[in-house]
């Protein structure tokens, strides 16, 4: 399974980066191959200063070795070895009317000292963070998510949509990071679902990513914007950074397993503002977004 999934994310990375380069029309992805001293490595691809994308990354990695003590404690296991691979992407567009997007699909194995697999699971998801709310964009993104889920299990979309709203919650701000999507983790073999079934589901979601996001980018990228719109985008990006550094488990895992810092922090936007005690104007489009982020809603 690990070879099969790693091959899949390598191909998916190629598909996604070539499509995004075509959408941008100016910038191309810079590739970095890296190795992790304890075992494994990855292929980081970053795009910067494009016509559409101010900064973004589409990264894959496959790492293995002894599970570090901090992660043993987290998983509540004794000394053991692990393998983890995944594709992780974040795109921060230049235009404030184009939403930021994040997606991740991953696979994890744990081994005993005899090298036998004692646990394995899939995880992942995709979520949208707009700076200005277009309801039809939110509906489109969620509809693509639901269509992918429904091909495998009618319960998946409502369950993973709810988990997404719960996970991407900035508790210290009492608001969502964005308008959600899907979030699933610890998808393990059971009587109902084999690992092959989970593989088919996760790859279905991965394959749907471009369909979920690119039409929104195409629709919004030419909208003219003011300095005030840009300031608002940068203030909201601050909340994005707060979530990633305070709450995100992926960031935590990377930092605690001696991951590659440049790849882990690739998700951070290049220009951000923290304005003291900032509140949008009453009745403004900015305030409308905040009200939705304070109470996650059903988009379908």
Query: Mean pLDDT in each 10-residue stretch from start to end of the chain (300 residues)?
Result: 98 98 98 93 96 98 89 84 96 98 97 91 98 98 98 98 98 97 97 97 98 98 98 98 92 80 90 96 97 96
Catalytic residue from among 64, 92, 102, 140? 102
Residue 190 lies in a domain: yes
Residue 295 lies in a domain: no
Residue 223 domain boundaries: 2-273+280-289
Residue 181 lies in a domain: yes
Residue 299 lies in a domain: no
Give the end-to-end CA distance of the chain in Å, rounded to a whole number: 34
Domain count of the fold of the chain? 1
Sign of CA dihedral 206, 56, 168, 118: positive
Residue whose C-alpha is closest to residue 161's, from 135, 136, 143, 186: 143
Residue 298 lies in a domain: no
Residue 228 lies in a domain: yes
CATH number for the domain spanning 56: value is 3.40.1500.10
Q: Tell me what pLDDT residue 119 has.
A: 93
Residue 52 lies in a domain: yes
Q: Tell me what pLDDT residue 74 has.
A: 82
- 64 catalytic? Reply is no
Helix (H) or strand (E) holding 186: strand 180-187
Q: Are 140 and 216 in contact (CB under 8 A)?
A: yes
Contacts 24+ apart (CB under 8 A), 218-223: 218/23, 219/137, 220/95, 220/97, 220/98, 220/99, 220/134, 220/137, 221/23, 221/52, 221/93, 221/95, 221/98, 222/95, 223/95, 223/97
Q: Which token pair is 36?
A: 């992790």
């Amino acid at each position: 399974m690990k070879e099969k999934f790693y091959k899949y994310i390598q191909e998916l990375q190629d598909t996604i980066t070539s499509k995004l380069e075509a959408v941008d029309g100016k910038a191309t992805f810079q590739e970095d191959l890296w190795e992790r001293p304890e075992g494994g490595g990855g292929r980081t691809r970053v795009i910067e200063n494009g016509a559409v994308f101010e900064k973004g990354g589409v990264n894959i990695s496959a790492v293995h070795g002894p599970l570090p003590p901090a992660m043993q404690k987290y998983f509540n296991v004794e000394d053991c070895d692990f393998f983890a691979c995944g594709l992780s992407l974040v795109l921060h567009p230049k235009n404030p009317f184009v939403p930021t997007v994040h997606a991740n699909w991953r696979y994890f194995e744990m081994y005993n000292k005899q090298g036998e697999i004692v646990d394995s699971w899939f995880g992942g998801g995709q979520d949208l963070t707009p700076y200005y709310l277009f309801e039809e964009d939110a509906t489109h993104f969620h509809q693509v998510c639901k269509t992918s889920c429904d091909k495998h299990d009618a319960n998946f979309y409502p369950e993973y949509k709810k988990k997404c709203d719960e996970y991407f919650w900035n508790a210290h701000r009492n608001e969502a990071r964005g308008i959600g999507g899907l979030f699933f983790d610890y998808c393990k073999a059971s009587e109902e679902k084999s690992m092959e079934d989970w593989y088919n589901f996760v790859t279905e979601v991965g394959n749907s990513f471009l369909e979920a996001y690119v039409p929104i980018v195409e629709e919004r990228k030419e909208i003219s914007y003011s300095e005030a719109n840009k300031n608002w985008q940068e203030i909201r990006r601050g909340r994005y950074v707060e979530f990633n550094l305070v709450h995100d488990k992926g960031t935590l895992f990377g930092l605690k397993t001696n991951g590659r810092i440049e790849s882990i922090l690739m998700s951070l936007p290049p220009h951000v503002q923290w304005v003291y005690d900032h509140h949008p104007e009453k009745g403004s489009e900015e305030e409308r977004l905040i009200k939705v982020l304070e109470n996650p809603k059903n988009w379908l």
